[in-house]
Structure formats: C-alpha cells, structure tokens
Amino acid sequence: MSATVPVVERVLSANDAVAAEVRARLDEKGIFCINLMASPGAGKTSLIERTVEALKGEIAIGMINGDTSAAAFDAERSQRAGAASVHVNTGGKCHLEAAMVRDALSLLPLDGIRLLLIENVGNLVCPMSWKLGAHVNVLIGSTPEGDDKPYKYPKMYAGVDVVVLNKIDLLPYVEFDCGRFLRGVEALNPGLRTFRLSCRTGEGLEEWFAWLREKARPAR
Amino acid sequence: MSATVPVVERVLSANDAVAAEVRARLDEKGIFCINLMASPGAGKTSLIERTVEALKGEIAIGMINGDTSAAAFDAERSQRAGAASVHVNTGGKCHLEAAMVRDALSLLPLDGIRLLLIENVGNLVCPMSWKLGAHVNVLIGSTPEGDDKPYKYPKMYAGVDVVVLNKIDLLPYVEFDCGRFLRGVEALNPGLRTFRLSCRTGEGLEEWFAWLREKARPAR
C-alpha cells in the first residue's frame, strides 16, 4: 500500500498550487472566503442559512456547496435563503479540492460578491488536508457529538482558524462538558477564536454575525 | 487528477482480496463480525460499551477500534467495558482497510472470541468503499444529525445491512422526522433491518441485543 503515498503527496502539492490560484482570484475581487467543515449533521447548512438570512441585506454572499452525490439539497437551501449558489458533486470523494472550487468560481457572479461561504463535505478527517484557498478555515462542532471530539480528531481541531460550537440549546439533554471540550481545543490550537451558538434558537448568532461583518469589510 | 484513479482502483481491489482472507479466518474460527460505521459522535463507542456490558457474561467479545491518531480513547472504553481490544492507528486515513483488520486479528485471542465488533473511523463516505471482511455492515445514525442523512449520503445508506438510529431520547428536542428518515432508508435499501434506540436511556437496546445473540450463535 505504501506505493500509493508518493502519488497522494504529488496530488496534494498540485492541490496547494491551485488553492493559491483561487486565493489570488478572491483577493483580486475583494472577496472574503470561509471554508466550513464539520461532521455530517453538525449544522453547516443551518449556520449558512441563518447567516445568509441575517446578512443578505448588507453583504452580497456567494456559496459553494460540496456534496458526494448529485443531490443538491444544501445548495437549494442556501439558494432559498438568498445566496448565489453553485453545487459541486465531488463524485464520491470525501472532501472538496481546490480545482473544484476554481471551477465553481467561474460559475459565480464574482463582481457582485463580498463574502463567499464554502460548505465542505461532512467529514472530520480529509477536508483538512485539501487547502481550498479560503481566508479562514472554520470547524463547526455540535454538542450531541460529544466533548471528546478535539481529542479524537486532533488534526482537524489543530488546523482550523475558528471553532463554532453549535446546538448549545441541547446542553441540558446531552452529556457534554464545555470545559473538557474547550481545554482540548485550547491544547491543540492555543488562542483559537471560538463561538458558542444555536442555529435553532438563535442564541449566540449575533456574535458570529458581528465577526463576519468585520471580516467581510471591503478594506481589510 | 484523473491519473490517480487507476491507482485507487488497484488499491481497492487488493483490499477486497485481503477482506476475503479476513472473512475466511473469521469463519474458520466461528467468529461473527460486525463493521460499525457512523458520523463522528453518532454513538459507535457508546453502543459498543452498552453491548459489551450486556452480553459479556454470555458471549466472548473482541474489539478492533480504528482511530486516525495514536490516541486510544475508544479502545480503552471498550476494554474497560470488558472486551479484548486492539487499537488501530490509521495514520491519518479516514477509514479502516482490510489489511489493518488482518494485522489486528493476529493480536486478538481468536479461539476465545465469538463476536468481533469493529469500530470504523467516524466518516459517512469512505469506509463504505473499503470492505473489511465483516459479516454485517452496520450504520449508526443519530437523531441530532438530521433526517436528511440518507438523502445526502446515499452510498453509505444503500451499502449497509443494518441501520441503527441512536439518540431517540433527543427526539423531543431536535427537528427529526422519523418517517422522512425511514422513507429515505427504504428507498435506497428496501427491506433493510433497522433498530431505534438510545444508548443513554437504554430504550430499544434489548431488541439489538436479541439480534446479536441470534447472530453470534455457534451454529449459524
């Protein structure tokens, strides 16, 4: 099996070059881009819906939704919420790659967009290895997944720029020790920016919106 | 990127051959083996703990726990519950492979085991492509993940033999339509065996235990 490793490394390094191209294109257009990663069901699409609903009047938002199949449920949800969306079918792959984002960019009205939200495939392992050219990598965790996730998926928790803990409305009903979770995050990624919120009740969303408003300002 | 596809296909076909070896070894020893797959945090380790606690007096159980890192939290939890366990570090890979299971088997006391539970890496995409030689592939879903998961991860839901829906104790607090979930499962995988349970409250576990007792009988 070791014979495949050099191929994987070559592919990843080619991906990094495309990610740099994507970043240059985004910067040229003045677009701030976020790569949202999470387990399946942690709330990527819900956070995007809430964000688009809240900010669409003030910031023009574009979306790229990665899915392992041709089903475009998430892209449709974002579109209904009011964002220009492109659905990317990864063809069974468990992550987005920079070339998929580059191709999706050509389908979006870039001159009219200031914030681009990329919804990666639901997976806590591989998406971290594939840079997309985004300015910020965000990991969404959720309370029902358990407070042990930073310890079990350390590469993901160590590699992101922001952690959002979603579904805090379920804290009374699940076994989740916020202290243990945050100690794990802090050990792997000291000083990391974290948000605690509930897409269902809206608690904590204002802080997230304020951060996005700040980041998506034209002169940054 | 297409240059890598033939390599992947070769590797998968080599994996299938090793999976057949694993199956032959299990059958020779009269061991019934289950491959447990799920999103991170859906409850693989919890279901294993409850199962080992309930059945260890009547069925000798062995465990193989796959993790993407050297941290052996899940293997330690299974061991504390009373099963002979081997921790497999996938070295960052997002799935177990048959060769990892074959190597782990050599570390287990096979003559004393009748039921082998394999805990795959938390991931709803790749584990389905890598056969391990198990007799039954089980997918654990959980209510907080949302009722859209069969529609969004169709390959996984279509490819398994059993679906366990965990965390039914959270149904009053999450938006989850059991009918929509089960219609998705049934459309992809007609007649599939399903269980609804809560590892936290114990509701529904007896049915799961009864099914395992039946499956792990010496003369099957």
B220 occurs within a structural domain? no
Distance CA B155, CA B101 (A): 22
Q: Band the pLDDT of B210: cuts 50, 70, 90.
A: very high
What mean pLDDT comes out for the span A114-120?
A: 96
B41: left (phi over 0), alpha (psi -120 to 50) or beta: left
Distance CA B15, CA B4 (A): 17
CB A138 within 8 A of CB A160: yes
B7 lies in which domain range? 2-215
Give backbone dihedrals phi and psi of B119, rounded to 5 degrees, phi first.
-95, 110
Q: Band the pLDDT of A219: cuts 50, 70, 90.
A: low
What mean pLDDT comes out for the span A161-180?
A: 97
pLDDT, tens digit (0-9, with 9 covering 90-100), for A60-71: 999 999 988 777
| Cβ within 8 Å, pair A175-B68 | no
Q: What is the pLDDT of residue B146?
A: 96
Which residue would you say has higher pLDDT here, A177 or A84?
A: A177
What mean pLDDT comes out for the span A80-100?
A: 89
Which residue would you say has higher pLDDT here, A158 or B75?
A: A158
Task: Give the predicted TM-score (pTM) of the model.
Answer: 0.90
A123 touches chain B (CB under 8 A): yes
B184 occurs within a structural domain? yes
pLDDT, tens digit (0-9, with 9 covering 90-100), for B128-160: 999 999 999 999 999 999 999 999 999 999 999
A174 touches chain B (CB under 8 A): yes
CB A19 within 8 A of CB A131: yes
Q: Name which of B44, B49, B102, B125 to mutate to probe chain A: the one with the most chain A Cβ atoms within 10 A of its Cβ.
A: B125
CB B166 within 8 A of CB B122: no
Q: What is the pLDDT of residue A139?
A: 98
What mean pLDDT comes out for the span A107-111?
A: 94
| Closest by Cβ to A170, choosing from B7, B68, B144 | B144
B11 occurs within a structural domain? yes
Please give the interface size between A and B, counted as residue pairs whose CB atoms are below 8 Å apart.
122
Q: Band the pLDDT of B219: cuts 50, 70, 90.
A: low
A14 touches chain B (CB under 8 A): yes
B173 touches chain A (CB under 8 A): yes
| Closest by Cβ to B154, choosing from A7, A69, A121 | A69
DSSP A122-173: S-SSGGGGS----SEEEEEEEGGG-TTHHHHSHHHHHH-SEEEEE-GGGGGG
Q: What is the pLDDT of residue B6?
A: 62
Helices (H), A30-124: 44-55, 73-81, 98-105
pLDDT at B53 over 70: yes
**Looking at chain B, which residue has its C-alpha nearest residue A128?**
B92
What mean pLDDT comes out for the span A166-183?
A: 96
| Cβ within 8 Å, pair B40-A145 | yes
A180 touches chain B (CB under 8 A): no
B67 touches chain A (CB under 8 A): yes
| Cβ within 8 Å, pair B94-A123 | yes
Domain count for chain A: 1
What mean pLDDT comes out for the span A160-165?
A: 97
Q: What is the pLDDT of residue A2?
A: 38
Q: Which two tokens stand for residue A208?
A: 């997230």
Q: Which two tokens stand for residue A42?
A: 């942690």
Q: Band the pLDDT of A220: cuts 50, 70, 90.
A: very low
CB B120 within 8 A of CB B66: yes
| Cβ within 8 Å, pair A125-B170 | no
What value does the CA radius of gyration of chain B take, rounded to a whole number of Å?
A: 17
Q: What is the pLDDT of residue B2?
A: 37
| Cβ within 8 Å, pair A40-B152 | yes
Which residue would you say has higher pLDDT here, A147 or A12?
A: A147
- The one-letter amino acid at A104: A
Angstrom distances, CA of residue B133 to CA of A16, A22, B5, B139, B154: 36, 42, 23, 16, 22
A151 touches chain B (CB under 8 A): yes
A176 occurs within a structural domain? yes
Which residue would you say has higher pLDDT here, A84 or B73?
A: A84
B170 occurs within a structural domain? yes
B142 occurs within a structural domain? yes
Which burial class, exposed, middle or buried, applies to B9 when counting CB atoms under 10 A from its CB (0-12, 13-18, 19+)?
exposed
Q: Name which of B68, B121, B181 to mutate to probe chain A: the one with the most chain A Cβ atoms within 10 A of its Cβ.
A: B68
CA distance A70 to chain B (A): 9
Evaluated on CA atoms B44, B48, B54, B60, the torsion sign reads positive
- The one-letter amino acid at A27: D
pLDDT at B19 over 80: yes
Which residues in B lie closer than 8 A to residue A142 (C-beta atoms)?
Answer: 41, 144
| Closest by Cβ to A41, choosing from B14, B149, B155 | B149
Question: How many percent of chain A have pLDDT more than 70?
Answer: 94
Q: Which of A95-99, B22-26, B90-94 has the lowest mean pLDDT?
A: B90-94
pLDDT at A79 over 60: yes
Q: What is the pLDDT of residue B12?
A: 81
Query: What is the distance, to the nearest Å, from the Cα of residue B55 to the centroid of all Cα atoms in its chain?
Result: 17
| Cβ within 8 Å, pair B153-A73 | no
Distance CA B30, CA A103 (A): 52
B77 occurs within a structural domain? yes
Asked if ipTM goes beyond 0.90, one says: no
Q: Band the pLDDT of A47: cuts 50, 70, 90.
A: very high
A220 occurs within a structural domain? no
Query: What is the distance, to the nearest Å, from the Cα of residue B151 to the centroid of all Cα atoms in its chain?
Result: 20
| Cβ within 8 Å, pair A125-B68 | yes
| Cβ within 8 Å, pair A152-B99 | no
Q: Which two tokens stand for residue B35?
A: 């491959």
pLDDT at A138 over 60: yes
pLDDT, tens digit (0-9, with 9 covering 90-100), for B158-191: 999 999 999 999 999 999 999 999 999 999 999 9
Residue B40: CATH number of its domain: 3.40.50.300
